[in-house]
């Protein structure tokens, strides 16, 4: 039974989440401020945190950064903000997923299940467990080591988030193959359905770390309406 910390200052929303998540067989604790959340996480081991952004003592985005300083527990941001730049910043700061309010508990539960599956299974970039990808994957100047969860570009180690690494590793295991977005959602995000914006956000940040852009790709190539492929640039072919 997974343990969940709900960080939400709206008592009505908080009570509804507690009731419905408990009915869904989760063990739930809740707090209404960022400082209480930090204290709870430091003292108690949770499987996942649901983090509201509009907290009374500290903005949730700042709370997320502080959480990441003390734990790698999966964090799902629950927010009324749907600004793309804000979402990108949250994902880059360590959020594992996000939901824009209002959302159903069924939707939240599905996202939680996917996040927990990735956290417990060592990452979706390693299908079938660590033994499925025992060697370093090389695509041009890229070297991706699934066992050590490390990636290098031309000998320089890349600073990737967990999700960025999972996405890169999955694509590196299929060089030159156009991977449909639905497959990425299923295998990397472990979701049967989802928002393409989630993939686009992670591709954008991954491209930046690979030193490229969507307009001038080197490794990551998007085929509109089809999917994404990773292949070496011309200088490495």
Provide the pLDDT for residue 129. Answer: 37
Q: How far is C-alpha 215 from the geometric centre of its chain's CA atoms?
A: 24
Mind giving me the DSSP string for the chain?
--EEEEE---HHHHHHHHHHHHHTT-EEEEESSHHHHHHHHHHS--SEEEEES--SSS-HHHHHHHHHTT----EEEEES---HHHHHHHHHTT-SEEEESS--HHHHHHHHHHHHHHHHHT-TTSTTSGGGS-S-EEETTEEEETTTTEEEETTEEP---HHHHHHHHHHHTSTT--EEHHHHHHHTS--SS--HHHHHHHHHHHHHHTT--SSS-SSEEEETTTEEEE---GGG-
What's the confidence (pLDDT) of residue 26?
Answer: 87
pLDDT of residue 217: 92
**Residue-by-residue pLDDT tens, the chain, 237 positions:** 689 999 999 888 889 889 988 888 889 999 999 999 998 988 887 889 999 988 999 888 888 888 888 888 889 998 887 777 788 788 888 888 888 888 888 888 888 887 887 766 544 343 333 333 347 889 999 999 887 788 999 999 999 888 888 899 889 988 888 888 888 887 887 766 666 678 888 899 999 999 999 899 999 999 887 889 999 887 765
Length of the chain: 237
Query: What contacts 114, CB < 8 A, 6 or more positions away?
Result: 97, 189, 190, 191
- In angstroms, the Cα distances linking 21 to 3, 37, 144, 172 are 10, 18, 38, 37
Domains of the chain: 3-121 (3.40.50.2300), 130-236 (1.10.10.10)
Q: What are phi and psi of 41, to 5 degrees?
A: -65, -35
Q: Dihedral sign for Cα 147, 150, 154, 160, please.
A: positive
């Amino acid at each position: 039974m997974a343990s969940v910390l709900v960080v939400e200052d709206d008592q009505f929303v908080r009570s509804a989440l507690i009731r419905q998540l408990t009915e869904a067989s989760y063990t739930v604790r809740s707090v209404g401020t960022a400082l209480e959340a930090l204290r709870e996480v430091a003292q108690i081991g949770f499987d996942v945190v649901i983090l509201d952004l509009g907290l009374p003592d500290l903005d949730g985005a700042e709370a997320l950064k502080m959480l990441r300083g003390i734990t790698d527990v999966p964090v799902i941001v629950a927010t009324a903000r749907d600004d793309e730049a804000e979402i990108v910043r949250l994902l880059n700061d360590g959020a594992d997923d996000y939901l824009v309010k209002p959302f159903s508990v069924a939707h939240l539960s599905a996202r939680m299940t996917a996040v927990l599956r990735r956290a417990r299974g060592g990452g979706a970039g390693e299908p079938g467990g660590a033994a499925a990808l025992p060697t370093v994957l090389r695509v041009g100047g890229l070297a991706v080591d699934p066992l050590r969860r490390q990636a290098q570009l031309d000998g320089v180690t890349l600073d990737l988030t967990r999700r960025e690494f999972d996405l890169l590793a999955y694509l590196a295991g299929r060089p030159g193959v156009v991977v449909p977005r639905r497959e990425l959602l299923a295998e990397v995000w472990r979701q049967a359905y989802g928002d393409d914006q989630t993939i686009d956000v992670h591709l954008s940040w991954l491209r930046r770390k690979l030193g490229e852009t969507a307009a001038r790709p080197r490794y990551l190539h998007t085929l509109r309406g089809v999917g994404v492929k990773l292949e070496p640039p011309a200088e490495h072919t």
